[in-house]
């Protein structure tokens, strides 16, 4: 039976947003060859993103908690490339926005999915 309460819908929406943004981040990493990076390097950079996928899909709060810290490395990479590599600024900017949105969506999921206080 599917829980149709407003709270359950909010949790489901937050989880779906996080998963959709995870996909967008993976695709943005695979777009880095357009900025002159090696396709193999881009695939290798995207592979660690598979680590939290199972827990994200299952809605495990613990995975969402550690995946926020996991996203920080991608934020740092995108910000560094945005500032240091003029040829990759457009890809870095897009990646930075997507990774930040993914980070925020995971925080939102954690906030709305916590147990209600009595």
Would you place residue 6 in the very low, low, confident or very high pLDDT band (cuts 50, 70, 90)? Answer: confident
- Measured CA to CA, the distance from residue 89 to residue 63 in angstroms comes to 31
pLDDT above 70: residue 1: no
Answer yes or no: is pLDDT of 118 > 70: no
Domain boundaries, the chain: 6-113
Residue 105 tokens read as 């969506």
Nearest partner of 70 among 88, 47, 93, judged by Cα: 47
| DSSP structure class, residue 31 | T
């Amino acid at each position: 039976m599917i829980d149709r309460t407003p709270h359950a819908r909010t949790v489901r929406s937050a989880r779906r947003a996080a998963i959709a943004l995870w996909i967008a981040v993976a695709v943005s990493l695979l777009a880095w060859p357009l900025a002159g990076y090696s396709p193999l390097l881009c695939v290798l950079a995207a592979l660690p993103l598979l680590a939290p996928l199972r827990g994200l899909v299952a809605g495990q709060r613990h995975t969402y908690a550690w995946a926020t810290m996991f996203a920080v490395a991608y934020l740092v990479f995108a910000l560094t490339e945005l500032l240091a590599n003029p040829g990759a600024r457009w890809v870095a900017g897009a990646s930075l926005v997507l990774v930040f949105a993914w980070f925020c969506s995971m925080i939102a999921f954690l906030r709305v999915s916590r147990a209600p206080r009595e």
